[in-house]
């Protein structure tokens, strides 16, 4: 079903408030839903960046909430709807192979880290919903059981199977209102950072694996720089670095296959739309 009247970013979050869940807007709220074939070749013809150097109003570090050395784990909550091997290769590359390097070079308190691999969590049934509270409960259970380990640099990517709808506390739903979100919660005196990544197999979120990898990159860059939403790097209107370059897609990969993965960049005051060059 085609989504109608997707909510604006302002409607989806209380602007200016600290620790407010941060979402990836639907693709069609930022770019046209129906693209011509030549516009699909985003690796060769990326969309123009909306925010140039210094273009975000007072983009600043609110309270020093960053993930200094991201240690990322994918948690699959059921069968992945695409090529899992491809996604695993992407996940390792986007965390380790230079994408986040400029954030360290430019002094944003984070940078490239390590991809720790996947685990299989509890399987969700098609037709079910998965809320912020469900995400916290799932991670709490996995931590209690010792299935996953937590430190200050941990970031857990919760990957939902197709047919499961992610929801937020205001009733917004994935595909019609957003394509992913990240948040954090307290666990035994520590902060658990996580992202929820629903299927992209819907018109609102693009429908392709490249759209999903772009959302993954978006959430990775945001969680690394704004671990507890609103406590790290944000602009005056509450937008994070990924929001400021949302759905500006481009190819990224090794020299022999530079368009291997579809990603988006992230905003820095110094460069505007920023992407670290591939390195081995």
Question: Averaged over 17-35, what is the pLDDT?
Answer: 65
> Does residue 43 lie within any of the structural domains?
no
197 has which bridge partners? 159
Q: Output the 3-class SS for the chain.
A: CCCCCCCCHHHHCCCCCCCCCEEEECHHHHCCCCCCHHHHCCCCCCCCCCCCCCCCCCCEECCCCCCCCCEEEEEECCCCCCCHHHHHHHHHHHHHCCCCHHHHHCCCCCCCCEEEEEEECCCCCCCCEECHHHHHHHHHHHHHCCCCCCCCCEEEEEECCCCCEEECCCCCEECCCEEEEEEEEEECCEEEEEEEECCCCCHHHCCCHHHHHHHHHHHHHHHHHCCCCCCCEECCCCCCCCHHHCCCEEEECCCCCCCCEEEECEEECCCEEECCCCCC
> Does residue 247 lie within any of the structural domains?
yes
> Does residue 132 lie within any of the structural domains?
yes
Question: Averaged over 220-243, what is the pLDDT?
Answer: 97
Give the Cα separation of 56 and 241 in Å (integer). 9
Report the phi/psi class of residue 207: left, alpha or beta, with left for phi > 0 and alpha for psi in -120 to 50: left
> Does residue 3 lie within any of the structural domains?
no
Question: Averaged over 168-180, what is the pLDDT?
Answer: 93
Packing angle, helices 84-96 and 209-225, rounded to 10: 30
Taking the mean position of all CA atoms in its chain, how far away is CA 68?
17
> Does residue 47 lie within any of the structural domains?
no
User: Residue 146 pLDDT > 80, yes or no?
Assistant: yes
Q: Which domain holds residue 210?
A: 60-274
> Does residue 187 lie within any of the structural domains?
yes
Question: Averaged over 113-119, what is the pLDDT?
Answer: 99
Based on the structure, what is the number of domains in the chain? Answer: 1
For residue 4, the model assigns a pLDDT of 30
Question: Averaged over 172-196, what is the pLDDT?
Answer: 96
pLDDT class of 203 with cuts at 50, 70, 90: confident
> Does residue 251 lie within any of the structural domains?
yes
pLDDT class of 35 with cuts at 50, 70, 90: low
Give the Cα separation of 8 and 11 in Å (integer). 5
Give the Cα separation of 213 and 96 in Å (integer). 15
For residue 30, the model assigns a pLDDT of 73
Give the Cα separation of 57 and 71 in Å (integer). 30
Give the Cα separation of 199 and 211 in Å (integer). 10
> Does residue 128 lie within any of the structural domains?
yes
């Amino acid at each position: 079903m085609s989504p109608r009247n997707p909510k604006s970013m302002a409607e989806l979050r209380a602007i200016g408030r600290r620790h407010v869940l941060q979402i990836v807007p639907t693709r069609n709220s930022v770019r046209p839903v129906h693209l011509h074939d030549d516009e699909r070749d985003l690796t060769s013809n990326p969309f123009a960046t909306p925010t140039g150097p210094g273009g975000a109003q007072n983009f600043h570090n609110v309270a020093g909430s960053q993930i200094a050395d991201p240690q990322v784990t994918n948690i699959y909550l059921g069968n992945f709807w695409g090529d899992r091997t491809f996604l695993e290769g992407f996940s390792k590359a986007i965390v380790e192979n230079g994408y986040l390097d400029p954030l360290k070079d430019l002094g944003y308190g984070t940078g490239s880290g390590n991809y720790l691999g996947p685990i299989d969590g509890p399987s969700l049934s098609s037709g079910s919903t998965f809320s912020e509270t469900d995400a916290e409960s799932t991670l709490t259970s996995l931590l209690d059981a010792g299935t996953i380990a937590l430190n200050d640099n941990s970031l857990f990517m919760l990957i939902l199977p197709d047919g499961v709808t992610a929801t937020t506390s205001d009733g917004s739903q994935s595909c019609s209102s957003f394509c992913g979100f990240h948040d954090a919660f307290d666990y035994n005196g520590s902060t658990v950072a996580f992202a929820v990544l629903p299927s992209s197999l819907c018109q609102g979120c693009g429908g392709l694996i490249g759209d999903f990898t772009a959302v993954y990159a978006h959430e990775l860059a945001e969680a690394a720089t704004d671990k507890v939403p609103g406590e790290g790097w944000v602009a005056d209107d509450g937008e994070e670095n990924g929001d400021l370059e949302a759905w500006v897609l481009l190819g990224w990969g090794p020299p022999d296959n530079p368009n291997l993965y579809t990603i988006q960049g992230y905003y820095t005051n110094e460069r505007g739309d920023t992407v670290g060059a591939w390195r081995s």
